Amino acid sequence: MLAKTPEPPYWTVIFTSLRTSDNVGYAAMAESMEQLARQQDGFLGLDSARDGVGITVSYWRDPAAIEAWRNNIEHRIARQLGRERWYEAYELRVAKVERAYGWTKPA
């Protein structure tokens, strides 16, 4: 349920957003883009949640993998539709993961 990633360093894209009230086509496009992202070379994982604010954090091998995904033509079209229809505002941050730590409750 939580994305599992290799040892750092790797990279992350943090996408936070506020939606418009236009839901037409949004869920299908979001699902489609997540599936497409998972197929990209250098994709490592993804966590996503929305309650008011939406947060999608994706993990990538290196900046070149992020750049290739940014230039993917289907992704470009989806982003254009997003600005026209589904998003009121968003912030996108690209960061290099330097340290990571996981914990799971003992059985």
Where do contacts with a copy of itself occur on this chain (CB under 8 A)?
1-5, 8, 12, 14, 16-18, 20, 47-55, 57, 83, 87-105
Minimum Å distance from CB 83 to a copy of itself? 7
Peptide bond just before 9 cis, omega within 30 deg = yes
Q: 41 or 88, CB closer to a copy of itself?
A: 88
Cα(25)–Cα(78) distance, rounded to whole angstroms? 11
Cα(27)–Cα(74) distance, rounded to whole angstroms? 16
Q: 42 or 54, CB closer to a copy of itself?
A: 54
Q: 77 or 100, CB closer to a copy of itself?
A: 100
For residue 11, what are the β-bridge partners?
A: 60, 96
Contact 79, 44 (CB under 8 A): no
Minimum Å distance from CB 49 to a copy of itself? 4
